[in-house]
Amino acid sequence: MKVTEHFQNANGNTLFTFEILPPLKGENMKTLFSHIDPLMEFKPPFIDVTYHREEYIYKQRENGLLEKRSTRKRPGTVGICAAIQNHYKVDTVPHLICGGFSKEETENALIDLHFLGIDNVLALRGDCVKSEQRFVPEPDGHTYATELIGQVVNMNKGCYLDDEQAYHNGTDFCIGVAGYPEKHFEAPNITSDLRWLKKKVELGAEYIVTQMFFENQRYFDFVNRCRAEGINVPIIPGLKPMTTKTQLTLLPSLFHVEIPCALADAIESCADNKAAAQVGVEWAIQQSKELMEFGVPCLHFYSMGKSESVRKVAKQLF
Ligand code: FAD
């Protein structure tokens, strides 16, 4: 079922959903299910599975020269989505990125997803490769999420890349996209960022999931600005309970988000990570309660491979 249909069927109740990372290469589905199992009692209607592009490592050859090798640490998004749907009978939302994909590879991935009965995709540009300064698309790939959305929408209409052929059966993906209450870090300003977000919706995105934020006012302001711009699709808040003291600097550097003083001070004064995680859980519960009162259709949690804190938060809410 489509994500948007789940929102409609919820009759105004707030849903609980979360995002998981594919396990590291060499792990198996048992590892993954052990993170998902503790969250299933809160009845997520769908689970997002992230996509991780290749990284480059340098290996020294016998002659002393360095060899650049591509490695993918967390492959398997498509297979994991199918396994989750099969095992838990819930929908999945595979993240689909432009980075590292040619248009043809994207088409093939979408065909696989379609055959597997997956009805949703979150269409993203993806981050740049760690060793590169800026995002570089594949020679025949997409540069922005807008272009990727265009390809999915075309396939939904039955237009595939080899337009010599007339195909009658299209796919029927519900498309979600990313939004940034604190602005995407590359955007020159929030107005420009919102203009592109609006474009994503005009092209066919049916809902938005936000980057994590730790101050609800950021989300409320973002929603107000989106509505003023004429962006009227559901905007799902993304939440991350902080779990360690190092996340105080790690999350801002990785995700370009601000940690409010009250939370930062509380985490800093914790004696250890156990205490920090407790502060993170309590903060996320307060955030969630206020967002539910605001009437959000869904609370979407970034589990980042750790379900324990998300479970503690959900236990108080659902
Ligand atoms: P875009 O929408 O393409 O925007 C990128 C930048 O370009 C923005 O600054 C925007 O303002 C601007 N822009 C947009 N369209 C155009 C255009 N047509 N012309 C000119 N400028 C434009 N990354 C992963 O690698 N894997 C994941 O699984 C993943 N999941 C995510 C889930 C969520 C909910 C979020 C919020 C982010 C996720 N990311 C993931 C990170 C995301 O890929 C990065 O933030 C990336 O830098 C931008 O992706 P985007 O889809 O928002 O890009």
What's the rounded Cα separation, in Å, for the pair 270 and 261?
Answer: 14
Residue 197 alpha carbon to ligand 1 centre in Å: 10
Q: How many CB atoms lie within 10 A of CB 79?
A: 15
Q: How far is the CA of 125 from the centre of ligand 1 (A)?
A: 5
Q: How far is the CA of 101 from the centre of ligand 1 (A)?
A: 15
Residues with CB under 6 A from ligand 1: 50-51, 53, 95, 97, 124-127, 144-146, 178, 184, 186-187, 192-193, 196, 209, 211, 238
Question: Has residue 82 got a pLDDT over 70?
Answer: yes
Share of the chain above pLDDT 90, in %: 84
Look at 28-32, 197-201, 210-214, 225-229 and tell me which has the smallest mean pLDDT.
28-32
Which has the higher per-residue pLDDT, 31 or 36? 36
- CATH code, 3-315: 3.20.20.220
Nearest residue (by CA) to ligand 1, atom 52, is 178
Q: What is the pLDDT of residue 59?
A: 81
pLDDT band at 204 (very low <50, low <70, confident <90, very high): very high
Residue 178's nearest CA partner among 159, 192, 196 is 196
User: What value does the mean pLDDT take over residues 102-130?
Assistant: 96
Ligand 1 atom nearest to CA at 193: 11
Instruction: Enter the pTM of the model.
Output: 0.96
What residues are paired with 131 via a beta bridge? none
Q: Which ligand 1 atom sits closest to the C-alpha of 128?
A: 47
26 pLDDT band, cuts 50/70/90, is confident
User: In this model, does residue 56 exceed pLDDT 80?
Assistant: no
Percentage of the chain lying above the pLDDT 70 cut: 99
The CA distances from residue 75 to 50, 58, 136, in Å, are 10, 20, 20
Going from N- to C-terminal start, the domains of the chain cover 3-315
Q: What is the pLDDT of residues 153-197, one digit of tens each?
A: 999 999 999 876 667 789 999 999 999 999 999 999 999 999 999
> Who wins on pLDDT, 90 or 129?
90
Ligand 1 atom nearest to CA at 192: 11
Across the chain, what does the average pLDDT equal? Answer: 95
Q: Closest Cα to atom 17, ligand 1: which residue? A: 144
Protein residue with least CA distance to atom 39, ligand 1? 126
Q: Which two tokens stand for residue 102?
A: 């040619």
Q: Decide which of 26 and 98 is more confident.
A: 98
**Contact between residue 276 and residue 204 where contact means Cβ atoms under 8 Å apart:** no
C-alpha of residue 51 to centroid of ligand 1, in Å: 13
- Residue 280 φ then ψ, to 5°: -60, -40
| Nearest atom, ligand 1, residue 99 CA | 25
- Choice from 78, 136, 143, 144 to test ligand 1 binding pocket (greatest atom count within 8 A of CB): 144
pLDDT-wise least confident of 134-138, 234-238, 285-289? 134-138
pLDDT (0 to 100) of residue 103: 98
Helix, strand, coil percentages, rounded to 5, for the chain: 40, 20, 40
Average pLDDT of span 45-69: 87
DSSP structure string for 297-312: SEEEEE-TT--HHHHH
Mean pLDDT of 96-119: 97
Residue count of the chain: 318
The predicted model gives 124-129 an average pLDDT of: 93
Q: In ligand 1, which atom is closest to the CA atom of 135?
A: 47
Q: Is 287 helix (H, G, I), strand (E, B) or coil?
A: helix
Cα four-point dihedral sign 185, 191, 197, 200: negative
Measuring from atom 13 of ligand 1, which residue has the nearest CA? 196
Q: Does 135 have pLDDT greater than 70?
A: yes
pLDDT of residue 164: 67
